[in-house]
Amino acid sequence: MTHTDPAFDGIVDRYTRAGASFEQLLRQVRPDQWDDPTPCTEWNVRLLVNHMAQGNRNYIPLLEGADGAEFMGRRGVDALGDDPLGAFTASVSACAAAYGRPGVLDRILDYPLGRIPAAQALAVRTTDSVIHTWDLARAIGADETLDPEQLQWIDDHLDAIYAGLSEVPTAPDSTHKFFGPATTVEGPRQERILRLMGRTP
Report the C-alpha gap between 34 and 139 in whole angstroms: 10
Section 20-37 average pLDDT: 98
Section 21-27 average pLDDT: 98
pLDDT tens-digit series, residues 91-111: 999 999 999 999 999 999 999
Sign of the Cα pseudo-torsion (50, 136, 151, 13, in order): negative
Report the C-alpha gap between 71 and 139 in whole angstroms: 27
Annotated domain spans of the chain: 8-196
pLDDT tens-digit series, residues 117-131: 999 999 999 999 999
Q: Is 105 in contact with 119 (CB distance < 8 Å)?
A: yes
Residue 64 has pLDDT above 60, yes or no: yes
pTM of the model: 0.92
Which CATH class, in words, describes the domain spanning 8-196?
Answer: mainly alpha
CA distances, 114 to each of 69, 161, 193 (Å): 11, 12, 23
Binning pLDDT at 50, 70 and 90, where does residue 166 land?
A: confident
Assign residue 187 a region (left: φ > 0; alpha: ψ between -120 and 50; beta: otherwise): left
